[in-house]
Structure 1
Amino acid sequence: MPSFAPRSSQSSAAWRLSACIGPRNAVKRSRNFARGKEGLVSKTGRLWFAVVGLAAGALAVWSGENEAREAIRQADIAFSKATVERRLEGFSSFIAEEVTTIRPNQPLVRGKRAFVDGWAPLLNNASRGVTWQPLLAEASSSGDLGYSVGKAEWTKSDAQGTRVVATGKYITIWRKQKDGSWKVVFDSGIQDKPPDTK
């Protein structure tokens, strides 16, 4: 007895195709259609995996930048603390050999010795001092270079022993060393205009 059960959409499509173009051609085209669907699924899967891979890579880069950014911020805090506690010696310990800076009315200063020598008059004088605090830090996507920007405070005692304070801003560029530490490769700053005392 012939069965009148409802055909699935795929078998119904194959039956109509067979009726129009003949059984042999219908089977051939049906197989091609199935292969086309499989190919589409395969391409979609590959695209999905590519998207997931790109997202994972971007997340890894973002995570690395965050770690480097925080490492730079902490290095800058430690730099200021070492300078306060150990003066010129502490300051010098954070300076890279290839450091560079710019100063008003002076040639470009290059090299650790010349850079540190420029700070010696301030840091070897017990009546003077400097502290600073990073306000922000940024890092490259490679995670081995970055900068910090912050506010600084210079202090000294005048002839009467009164403490005089000057404020300013600075930018420091850091490079990660082979041992994982961060060293200063560029540093410069500006002092704020003194307040009007009139």
Structure 2
Amino acid sequence: MRAIAFRRCVAVLALAASAPLCAQTPAAPPPVPAHSAAECQVWARELSFARSVADHDAAAFAAHLRDGAAFGASRVEPTRGRAAIAERWAGIVEGKAVRLEWYPTRVTIGGAQDVAWSSGPSLFEDRAPDAKQRYAIGAFHSVWHRDADGVWRVLFDDGVAPRPATEAEALAFRRDRPTACPQG
């Protein structure tokens, strides 16, 4: 989930460290539906957004945000605006304490052809060498808007709080990452 602020990510990972670990077999990923060409454009943009964090590229991260974007959209006080979101996410983009990865598994465009919804899993990795709970898995939900220049940018973002995850689940997250948008 991309919408959790850096400090909250660290707090969640600290809480996860106190949770008991269970040996779990990772569930098979759900089937991925076919997407239209326009939905695949948003899929590619979502991957580009995730890559901006993986590459620690703050400018590229900010370029994926709409001017009036709201992150943590379901919260009473979401983070609003490109500059405020970029500032709040600076630690996550930097990636020193927490590594965040995500990818889409669903993209939907409805009647408004300039609005899209995307969702998928997210993986948090506590980068501290002595981390008791290294991984946590969550999910994200984003609403994209195609601006007048034809570029898709995130308008709203939120997600599901991460839960503790095993190393096997983290490996499955990475293994099950789609390599291309499934077009219909």
Give TM-score, length-normalised by structure 2: 0.62
- Where structure 2 has 5 or more consecutive residues not aligned to the other structure, the ranges are 1-34, 167-184
Q: Tell me whether 1:145 sits opposite 2:115 in the alignment.
A: yes
By relative contact order (CA 8 Å, sep 6+), the higher-ranking structure is 2
Correspondence 1:70 to 2:40: yes
Change over 3 Å in CA distance of 1:105–1:121 after alignment to 2? same
Richer in helix (by share): 1
Task: Call closer, same or farther: CA 1:105–1:175 in 2, change over 3 Å.
Answer: closer
Deviates more, 1:157-166 or 1:130-139: 157-166
Divergent runs of 4+, >3 A: 103-106
Q: Which residue of 2 aligns with 1:95?
A: 65
**1:102 CA drift (Å):** 2.4
Aligned to 1:123: 93
Alignment of 1:15-34 (within 5 A): none
Q: Distance in 2 between matches of 1:192 and 1:126?
A: 19
Corresponding residue for 2:79?
109
CA gap of 1:117–1:166, structure 2 versus 1, over 3 A, is same
- Contact 1:152/1:170 (<8 A) preserved: yes
Q: Structure 1 residues 184, 103: closer, same or farther in 2, change over 3 A? A: closer
Indicate the larger mover: 143-152 or 187-196. 187-196
2:163 is aligned with 1:189 = no
The alpha-carbon deviation at position 99 of structure 1 amounts to: 0.1
Q: Match of 1:149, as an amino acid?
A: S
Shift of 1:128: 2.3
Which residue in the other structure is 1:158 paired with? 128
In our comparison, the structure showing a higher alpha carbon Rg is 1
Cα-Cα RMSD: 2.5
1:178 aligns with 2:148: yes
Count of matched residue positions in the alignment of Structure 1 and Structure 2: 132
TM-score if structure 1 supplies the norm length?
0.58
Give the drift of 1:104: 8.2
Partner of 1:167: 137
**Structure 1 position 67, deviation (Å):** 2.6
